[in-house]
Amino acid sequence: MKHDKPIAHKTTGKGKTYNPTDKGAGITAKGRAAYNAKNGSNLKAPAPHPKTKKDAGRKASFCARMEGVVKHAKGPAERAKASLKNWNC
């Protein structure tokens, strides 16, 4: 199943769906709920301190992916770096 219905990328105000770069750059709880409702998916919150093996695996996978994004980015990749920090990678 392809999830291709994006949500509005708002970083300020009452209905913000993403955190600004200086706050970790991830999707907010409201943003996850909106995306899940729109796409029928199941996005989960970040797992900087995983409590289960499944969360630890999710963290390892996310960190590896984002480190690749930072490594191969043509620019500074500030949002990717902020998300790595947010996940304690």
Mean pLDDT score, 6-29: 82
CA-wise closest residue to 62 among 44, 36, 74, 42: 44
How far, CA to CA in Å, does 50 sit from each of 41, 46, 55, 68, 84?
A: 21, 9, 5, 21, 15
pLDDT digits (tens, 9 = 90+) for 21-66: 888 888 889 999 998 998 888 999 999 999 999 999 999 999 999 9
Distance CA 82, CA 7 (A): 20
pLDDT at 2: 60
pLDDT digits (tens, 9 = 90+) for 65-89: 999 999 999 999 999 999 999 899 9
Mean pLDDT score, 5-33: 83
